[in-house]
A and B are shown apart, each in its own frame.
Chain A
Amino acid sequence: MSLLLLYNFGTNQKSVPVTLKVAVSGSGNKILGAVDSFAINVLGINAAVFYQQYFVSLGISRNKTVVVAITVASTALFSLTKLVSKILSFASISTVSVSKAVSKILSFASISTVSVSKAVSKFISVVSTATNSIVKSVMHYVSTVVSSSTASLVNLPNKLLSVISSSAVSVGRAIGKIIATSAEHMIVVLTNTATHLIGFAVLVTSTPVIQKSFGKFLSILSISSVSILKGFFRTLSFVATSTSNITHSLVKLISVAVSSTVSVIKNFFYSRLLSITSISIASIVKATNKTLLVISTAITSSVNQVKKILKIVSTSTSSLVAEFVKIYGAVALYTFIVPSKKLKATIVKALNLIMTKGQ
């Protein structure tokens, strides 16, 4: 049985009840008494809101609409609250707001603000030319966000998240197996992404900031600053043309290639390999690695490195302070300074000093 939903749309009025009708083939129009098991198609030219009583009005939203499928095309404000549906689809040229919607599929296409809160969907797709905000959404499968402006994603447990934005992208506490964030122009901020990420890729032309990320793989390609704080990765790869900062990261493999300053601070890595290629300053402090390789054309500074193999190739000043290395090799083309402190851990303790005078 094919169903077609018809409706009357009140214009320039608020809270105008609209009788929803359904056309059943061969039996004429019928007033829709319940929509729990039917599809609803709404083409709104003004603000439209679903009521539990199946109204369409201009203003305040109501809750707990239960439908199988909802398709909305609106030219004005749209607000849906506590929708339980299998398929929810929007096409709007104005603001779209969805709160506590439980859908298997949630799809947006908007040229204005899109806001999704506590949506439970297996699939969510958002295409917007303005601000996107998705908060506490639980999605099983694929999430795609395409935005030409700010995109903000908070508490997203996804298996796959893909974000393409030409402006700021913010992802907080996302839990996904695979997350791919691609931002073409502006800032990317990833905060508290306590994730079990298998793959995580960031492509930006500006500053990416990642805090407290847990992933198996992280790849960042940036033409500006890169900053990672407290990331726990198996593989971390950087390609940046500007400043890079890595702090408190636990990784097995870290590779950094930048054309500007590189700073690695207090990385208590269980890294098997740390490789840094920089044409500017490279500074590494308190990194614990098995292998460290630094290639720099400018100043290289390594402090308190504990590792088995350290190799530094520098075309400028190299400074190694308080190093403990088992195998130590270094090549410096210009200046090379190794303080007389311990380059190798001693086994026999020297607890007695023999005082001499003028000798």
Chain B
Amino acid sequence: MAESFSYKITTESELLTFDFGQVLSASETISTAVCTIIVLNGVDSSPSSMLIGSAVISNQTASQRVANGVDSVTYRLVMTITTSQGNTYVGLGDLDVYTSADVL
């Protein structure tokens, strides 16, 4: 089941982190990390433009910077990692995007 990040204002640029510490063994590290993004609700013809740069690996976490987005659209970040022990895991994180005028 996907977890949700806090909503993002369209003008914000945030580094969203997937922590795989509870999935990986103590000695297991992340070898590769690739992040993709899809639209769950709403309309955005080019959601991938939200991804700024590539995913960044740090110990047992993988992070992806996101920016922009379309108001009232719910996105899903899909973080796929491979590990030093040959495992492949996928982390899902939903992200709502709003304009600053939508939030009191």
Partners in one complex: yes
Write the B8-32 contact mask toward A (1 if CB under 8 angstroms, else 0). 0000001111111111000000000
Known: A326-B104, A345-B104. A351 touches B23 (CB 8 A): no
Q: How far is the CA of A341 from the CA of B103 in the complex (A)?
A: 13
Beyond A322-B96, A342-B7, is A355–B18 a contact (Cβ under 8 Å)?
Answer: yes
Q: In the assembled complex, how far is the CB of residue B12 from the closest CB belonging to chain A, in whole angstroms? A: 9
B93 proximal to A (CB < 8 A): yes
Closest to B89 in A: A355
Residues 248-301 of A at the B interface (beta carbon under 8 Å): 268, 286, 288
Instruction: Encode contact with B along A336-351: 1 for CB under 8 Å, 0 otherwise.
Output: 0000011001101111
A341 CA to B102 CA, complexed, in Å: 14
Q: Given the complex, which residues of A lie within 8 Å of B91, measured CB to CB?
A: 353, 355
Question: Count of A residues near B, CB < 8 Å?
Answer: 24
Establish whether residues B22 and A357, one from each chain, have CB atoms under 8 Å apart when the complex forms.
yes
Contact between A355 and B6, CB atoms less than 8 A apart: no
Contact between chains at A322 and B6 (CB < 8 Å): no
Point out the residues of chain A lying under 8 angstroms from B72, CB to CB.
286, 304, 322
The answer to whether A355 and B23 touch (CB under 8 A), given A322-B72, A342-B7, A350-B5, is yes
Which residues of B have CB within 8 Å of A304? 72, 102
Determine whether the beta carbon of A354 is less than 8 Å from that of B102. Answer: no
**In the complex, which residues of chain B have a beta carbon less than 8 angstroms from the beta carbon of A342?**
7, 96
Bound form: Cα–Cα A308–B104 in Å: 8
Residue with the greatest number of chain B CB neighbours at <10 A, chosen from A322, A345, A349, A352: A352
Question: What is the minimal beta-carbon distance from B55 to any residue of chain A, in angstroms?
Answer: 14
Cα–Cα, bound, A87→B20 (Å): 88
Docked-complex contact A356 and B15, CB < 8 angstroms: no
Shortest Cβ gap from A305 to chain B (Å): 10
B18 & A351 in contact (Cβ 8 Å cutoff):
no
Tell which of A308, A351, A359 touches B6, judged by Cβ atoms closer than 8 Å: A351
Q: How far is the CA of A20 from the CA of B14 in the complex (A)?
A: 88
A288–B101 touching, CB < 8 Å: yes
Q: A322-B96, A342-B7 are in contact. Are A354 and B22 (CB under 8 A)?
A: yes
B18 CB contact (under 8 Å) in A345, A353, A359: A353
Q: Which of A341, A349, A356 is the one whose CB lies under 8 Å from B23?
A: A356
Residue pair B6, A352 in contact (C-beta under 8 Å): no
A356 vs B5: C-alpha distance when bound (angstroms): 15
